[in-house]
């Protein structure tokens, strides 16, 4: 510090920066509120107030100066002349305290009172803020030994204190603000508390202000306390399901270092397993020994049997009635059975997926069977599939690999194809979005691969006899959805591509071939209306490439969930790349971001068919 002004500023910083009753983050003095707030008598402006200060500072002062708070009141509660003089006299000191919270420690403030031509009092507050104080240096140290941490894939740091320094949010060169100072301390301490030291506290924090140099030196000393480890897990609330399932899902072992992230991951795992409506995980760090703090898990179970009935409509498959049923303890075994029945005008299906309770690595065994009939224009497809495999969903990543037997028969007036196949499949999905239901930022990538052997036959009305085919095949497919906000606009794009490598498409079931068109493909065309053509009839092809770009914008400022949209889709499916030719669909839509997903109503014009088509869908297709 240099000179008496610097010394005064230091004393002021260590005293006043601990709190200021005039600030919104420290609360206003309830006793200072005018009694007129509870009165029905209309309020009047008792005096004029002019604040001459730069924009943001003017807003701060006109909101929190006592002169501004008492400016309006019922006439019966008007302040007296001496009271106004007292407020004017106190205004410079109060204004300086407010300005210091924004980093101005050398401000010159004056407040004067005069009278207008009509005799009404006028108060003028003039501010010369001076230079804004910026951070000169930051020192963070520990008063007690802090153990090194084990690096993870997400964070390679080993030194916890060095990690705090690196993640400190108030860096040298930034303006010193009281709100930012408090926020930075809270974030840094929270980081240490969540990483092995839940009882950590600040032993000392000091902001040394040099008003003449307009600089702030920050010194912080943390007291970590003992390093905590996870102890035994106690489960409460289980009646139908084995508590061993709850313990098995813990992402930590007995004796592992305490981590707030591990606690939150544990809760998320318990909710996603499909057995519990809610879960709460607490670690007793107040009373438990640091070498093994007790962990208590409280769960609320879902019923063993649960059925949901629904009716709906899709532009792709028309009206439908559906039933979903869960049995969360099949024959008393640790398996979940999810059965679905759909009865619609164009789609009928029935199927059951049996999934084992997840293991500690979140993987589960999967057994599924599905029967489906799909009608599209004059074509009917009957298909069946039986699969056995394993699935693993960690939230961000989802992996499924399985062996499958599949059958399909596609029949129309012109072409009839029957195919059977045995294949091994692998599917990988990565979600990196701000919301799974209502994404506005990020991306989702889906990759699929299958290797198998197929047998098929095809008959055509245009030729006698039957064509047979058999042989191995390799199927590949990829899809990416990307989301990006730009101001008040929301942009999203989609790109998908696939190819089946096989000598003759007849050997591959139609469920593994490609078609395009419909709500989540190329809008402006019917569901599965785009693909390889034989005698004027569309059949599944071996190659696929489609894409879409869409922009959304809120229609009403009062209802931001309702958005207007413009889009362009393009792409097609074909039997070989040489035959592939894109078609285009452009249109507009109205989208509503509901709690269950995005409700979309789109009107699209199909350039190749020269007609418009209405598309209705709910949710986001990954």
Would you state the pLDDT for residue 209? Answer: 94
Would you state the pLDDT for residue 540? Answer: 94
Q: What is the pLDDT of residues 550-605, one digit of tens each?
A: 999 999 989 999 999 999 999 999 999 999 999 999 999 999 998 878 899 999 99
Q: Which CATH number fits domain 358-618: 2.40.160.50, 3.30.70.1280, 3.30.1360.120, 3.30.1280.10?
A: 2.40.160.50
The span from the CA of 309 to the CA of 129, in Å, is 66
Helix axes 81-100, 55-64, angle to 10 degrees: 130
Task: Decide if 103 contacts 175 (C-beta within 8 A).
Answer: yes
Question: Three-state DSSP class for 232?
Answer: strand
Under CATH, which number does the domain 134-223 receive? 3.10.20.310
Name which of 293, 290, 271, 270 is nearest 282 in CA terms. 293
Residues 6+ apart with CB under 8 A from 75: 41, 44
Residues 6+ apart with CB under 8 A from 46: 70, 71, 72, 73, 78, 79, 121
Angle at 261 between CA 273 and CA 283, to 5 degrees: 85
Would you state the pLDDT for residue 152? Answer: 77
Would you state the pLDDT for residue 81? Answer: 86
Query: Which residues are 424's β-sheet partners?
Result: 403, 451
> Which is the CATH superfamily of the domain at 230-301?
membrane protein fhac (3.10.20.310)
Which stretches of the chain score pLDDT less than 70? 1-40, 619-622
Tell me the whole-structure pTM to 2 decimals.
Answer: 0.74
The span from the CA of 105 to the CA of 207, in Å, is 13
Backbone angles phi, psi at 87, to 5 degrees: -65, -40
Would you state the pLDDT for residue 617? Answer: 80
The span from the CA of 424 to the CA of 422, in Å, is 7
Residue at token pair 């009716």:
311
Name which of 267, 328, 261, 274 is nearest 296 in CA terms. 267
Question: Three-state DSSP class for 154?
Answer: coil
The kind and range of the H/E element at 482 are: strand 463-486
Task: State the DSSP code for 501.
Answer: E
Residues 6+ apart with CB under 8 A from 385: 368, 369, 370, 404, 405, 406, 407, 511
Would you state the pLDDT for residue 3? Answer: 42
CATH 3.10.20.310 holds for 33-128: yes
> Counting Cβ atoms within 10 Å, is residue 559 exposed (0-12), middle (13-18) or buried (19+)?
exposed
Q: What is the pLDDT of residues 203-212, one digit of tens each?
A: 999 999 999 9
The kind and range of the H/E element at 400 are: strand 397-411
């Amino acid at each position: 510090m240099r000179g008496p002004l610097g010394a005064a500023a230091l004393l002021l910083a260590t005293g006043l920066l601990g709190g200021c009753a005039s600030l919104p983050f420290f609360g206003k003095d309830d006793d200072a509120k005018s009694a007129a707030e509870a009165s029905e008598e209309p309020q009047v402006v008792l005096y004029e107030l002019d604040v001459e200060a730069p924009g943001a500072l003017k807003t701060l002062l006109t909101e929190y100066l006592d002169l501004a708070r008492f400016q309006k009141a019922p006439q019966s509660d008007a302040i007296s002349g001496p009271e106004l003089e007292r407020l004017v006299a106190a205004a410079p000191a109060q204004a300086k305290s407010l300005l210091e919270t924004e980093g101005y420690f050398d401000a010159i403030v004056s407040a004067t009172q005069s009278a207008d031509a009509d005799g009404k009092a006028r108060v003028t507050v003039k501010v010369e803020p001076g230079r804004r104080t910026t951070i000169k240096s930051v020192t963070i140290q520990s008063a007690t030994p802090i153990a090194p941490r084990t690096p993870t894939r997400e964070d390679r740091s080993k030194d916890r204190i060095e990690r705090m320094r690196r993640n400190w949010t108030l860096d040298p060169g930034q303006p010193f603000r009281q709100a930012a100072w408090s926020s930075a301390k809270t974030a840094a301490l929270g980081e240490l508390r969540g990483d092995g030291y839940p009882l950590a506290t600040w032993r000392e924090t000091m902001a040394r202000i040099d008003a003449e140099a307009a600089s702030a030196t920050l010194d912080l000393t943390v007291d970590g306390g003992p390093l905590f480890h996870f102890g035994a897990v106690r489960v409460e609330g289980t009646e139908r399901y084995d508590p061993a399932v709850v313990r098995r899902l813990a992402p930590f072992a007995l004796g592992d270092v305490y981590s707030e992230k591990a606690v939150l991951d544990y809760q998320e795992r318990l909710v996603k397993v499909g057995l519990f409506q809610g879960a709460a995980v607490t670690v007793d760090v107040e009373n438990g020994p640091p070498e093994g703090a007790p962990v208590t898990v409280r769960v609320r179970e879902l019923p063993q049997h649960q059925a949901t009935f629904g009716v709906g409509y899709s532009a792709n498959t028309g009206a439908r009635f559906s039933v979903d049923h869960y049995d969360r303890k099949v024959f008393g075994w640790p398996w979940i059975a999810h059965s679905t029945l759909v009865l619609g005008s164009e789609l009928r299906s029935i199927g059951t997926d049996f999934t084992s309770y997840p293991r500690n690595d979140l993987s589960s065994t999967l057994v599924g069977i599905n029967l489906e009939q799909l009608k599209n224009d004059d074509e009917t497809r009957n298909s069946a599939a039986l699969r056995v495999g394993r699935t693993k969903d960690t939230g961000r990543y989802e992996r499924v690999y399985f062996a499958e037997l599949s059958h399909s028969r596609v029949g129309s007036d012109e072409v009839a194809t029957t195919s059977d196949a045995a294949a091994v499949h692998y599917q990988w999905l990565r979600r990196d979005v701000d919301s799974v239901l209502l994404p506005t930022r990020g991306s989702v990538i889906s990759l699929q691969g299958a290797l198998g052997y197929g047998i098929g036959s095809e008959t055509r009305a245009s030729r006698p006899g039957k064509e047979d085919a058999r042989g191995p095949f390799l199927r590949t497919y990829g899809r990416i959805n990307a989301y990006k906000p730009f101001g008040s606009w929301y942009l999203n794009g989609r790109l998908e591509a696939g190819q089946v490598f096989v000598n003759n498409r007849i050997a591959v079931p139609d469920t593994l071939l490609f078609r395009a068109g419909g709500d989540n493909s190329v809008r402006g065309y019917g569901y599965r209306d785009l693909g390889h053509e034989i005698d004027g009839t569309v059949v599944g092809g071996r190659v696929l490439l489609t894409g879409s770009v869409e922009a959304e914008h809120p229609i009403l400022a009062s209802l931001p969930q309702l958005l207007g949209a413009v889009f362009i889709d393009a792409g097609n499916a074909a039997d070989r790349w040489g035959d592939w030719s894109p078609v285009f669909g452009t249109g507009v839509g109205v989208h509503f971001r509901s709690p269950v997903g995005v409700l979309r109503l789109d009107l699209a014009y199909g350039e190749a068919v020269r007609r418009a088509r209405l598309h209705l869908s709910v949710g986001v297709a990954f």
